[in-house]
Chains A and B, each alone.
Chain A
Amino acid sequence: MENAIEVKDLQYSYDQKNDAVSGASFTIAKGSFTTIIGPNGSGKSTVAKLLMGLLEKKAGTIVVDGIELSDTTVGDIRQRMGIVFQNPDNQFIGATVRDDIAFGLENRCVEQPKMDPIIDEYAAKVGMTPFLDSEPTNLSGGQKQRVAIASVLAMDMDILLFDEATSMLDPTGKRDISKLVHDIHDQQGLTVVAITHNIEEVAASDYVIVMGAGKVVLSGTPAAVFKHQAQLLKLQMDVPFVYKLAAALKARGVKTAETLDMERMASEICRSASKK
């Protein structure tokens, strides 16, 4: 199975002095749900922009869907891969929801009569049908992000990048968007790469890439990555609640099975307590 994204020795510098990205390498499998985490300044957003060709890399190779990223192939890659940014307002281009979803279709020169059905379909997929003619000032952050997702989906992308898409939202918005992204991933088999700070989201993903100081420091399944507690702490990264509880219990002589699932841990503890 071909990889969705392959990155080798990626380098980028904003100011010719320090490298924001200094030799990052990773692969993203097709159809997987990958999260990228790391302290602010570790280069995560820079990598996302480099993948989309919005920044020109200093060195290294980026291959998306088998196509190597270059000046001539940028357009092709943007046909296969889309991105949802962090700020809901600064990526809402159209005057209304309808116009915003149409924007990508307009750029793709989709035939005008075909646009309305596509817009209706994807607005429904993200639950924004009642708001098709609403203006962005009348929408919440979560609603605007749903529109951003719809406009990227409407362009029929295989790979979706999310650059901290929920960090500016309130808890309801965060929950709705996380669920929406997971549903899309499960139902449509798209490849999803989410840059996030939310440790629970990381625990729910297939694969985790941990970045630090412009490099990939750790990568693997969430369980494998969270084993490296000392290293994560050194990077000042947060650790899921269940891991913290497991560590505290271990210190008190209670061994628990390794899990990232709060429910599973609760079940195990309840069983142990009732056995007594």
Chain B
Amino acid sequence: MPISFEKVSYEYAPHTPFSYQALRGVDLQLAEGRITAIIGATGSGKTTLVQHLNALLIPSEGTVRVMEHEIAAGRRFKDAKKLRQKVGLVFQFPEYQLFEETLIKDVAFGPINFGMDADKAAAVAAQALSTVGIDKADFEKSPLELSGGQKRRVAIAGILAMQPKVLVLDEPTAGLDPQGAAAVMELFRRLNRSQGITVIIVSHDMEYVLDYCDQVVVMSHGQAVIQTDVKGFFESEQYMDQANIDPPAIVRFRQLCAAKGLKLPADALTIDALADQIAKRIGR
């Protein structure tokens, strides 16, 4: 079942002098089993949008449907805890949520909260830690002994251990070095391809959106203005202009060549494909 937003609006601090309309009538469908990127300028409503997916926020207007759950404006949503086990949300800079004495205890915290017994939780936690690439020898270490990148992976493991069907990540690569970021994106792709987990990623980094995501949603001023597949998005000058993003290097290069009179096909979105096209044009 796809996840859908029907005319969803959200207002922070209503009826106060600080009220702020973050979402204005969002109509959106997020495909099941795919990796969708949510992009847009800071303040466009991306973080507000994804916090509706696990009922951290309830819409001021409209309805959000996630799997068999319906989160409607004006009504108390009673199944929040059930939903939060199925939709795992990883915040930006999730390192700060680690608090237990050891990594394995921290990762087991989520599953235990959702009713798993301690032994099973420990097993699931061990599995999750291995999935994110933490060595078994380190399981009993304290989170404080880890580097930033390692802490982030443990935080992600903490959500994976909950065995969610949908994984939502807010800027998972922020502040990571290039290899750390690539490792983390690879992980999501693996989880999606091998277990069919729906992955939703809020991101600013167009390189990763191009290389790892299937679908893209563009948010602007609280509305979802574009919803399309990634290839279609990066092939369209119009879409990229409308989204007002910094295109990935490969697109910028194509644009530079076009400006100098060499039109290269828009669907050459990998370095090999582009090199093939250029070689052809030069006559090799």
A interface, by DSSP: helix, strand, loop or mixed? helix
Q: B246-265 interface mask toward A, CB cutoff 8 Å, 1 = contact, 0 = none?
A: 10011011001100111000
A274 and B262 within 8 A (CB): yes
The residue that A241 contacts in the complex, of B175, B204, B253, with Cβ under 8 A, is: B253
Q: A245: which of B147, B174, B246, B274 is its contact (CB, 8 Å)?
A: B274
Interface residues of A in 249-276 (CB under 8 A from B): 249, 251-254, 262-263, 265-267, 269-270, 272-274, 276
User: Across the interface, which residues of B come within 8 angstroms of A168, CB to CB?
Assistant: 174-175
Residues of A within 8 A of B41 (CB): 172
Q: Is the CB of B257 within 8 A of A266?
A: yes
Q: Which residue of B lies closest to A240 (CB)?
A: B249
Interface status of A78 (Cβ within 8 A of chain B): no
**Total A-B pairs in contact (CB under 8 Å)?**
90
Name A238's contact: one of B175, B178, B261 (CB within 8 Å): B178
* Known contacts A140-B42, A197-B177, A274-B262; A248 and B282 CB within 8 A of each other: no
A245's nearest neighbour on chain B, judged by CB, is B271
Size of interface on A: residues with Cβ below 8 Å to B: 37
Bound together, the chains give a CA A267 to CA B259 distance in angstroms of 10
Instruction: Check B282 against A276 for contact (C-beta < 8 Å).
Output: yes
Q: Which residue of B lies closest to A256 (CB)?
A: B278
For B42, what are the chain A residues with a Cβ–Cβ distance below 8 Å? 140, 170, 172
B252 touches A269 (CB 8 A): no
Q: Which of A167, A237, A252, A262 contacts B256 (CB 8 A)?
A: A262
Interface size on B, residues (CB 8 A): 35
User: What chain A residues lie within 8 Å of B174 (beta carbons)?
Assistant: 168
Contact pattern, A 149-184, Cβ under 8 Å of B = 1, otherwise 0: 000000000000000000110111001000000000
- A134 an interface residue at 8 Å Cβ cutoff? no
Check A248–B271 contact: CB distance below 8 A.
Answer: yes
Contact with A along B32-50 (1 / 0, CB 8 A): 0000000001100000000
State A254–B147 Cα separation when bound (angstroms). Answer: 43
Q: Is A227 an interface residue (CB 8 A)?
A: no
A40 at the interface (CB under 8 A from B): yes
A248 to B272, CA, bound (A): 6
- A39, B253: Cβ atoms under 8 Å? no
| CB < 8 Å neighbour of A252 from B147, B149, B262, B276 | B276
With A168-B174, A168-B175, A254-B284 known as contacts, the answer to whether A266 contacts B250 (CB < 8 A) is no
Give chain B's interface residues, CB within 8 Å of chain A: 41-42, 147-149, 174-175, 177-180, 204-205, 245-246, 249-250, 252-253, 256-257, 260-262, 271-272, 274-276, 278-279, 281-284
**Residues of chain A whose beta carbon lies under 8 Å from any beta carbon of chain B:** 39-41, 86, 140, 167-168, 170-172, 175, 197, 199, 236-238, 241-242, 244-245, 248-249, 251-254, 262-263, 265-267, 269-270, 272-274, 276
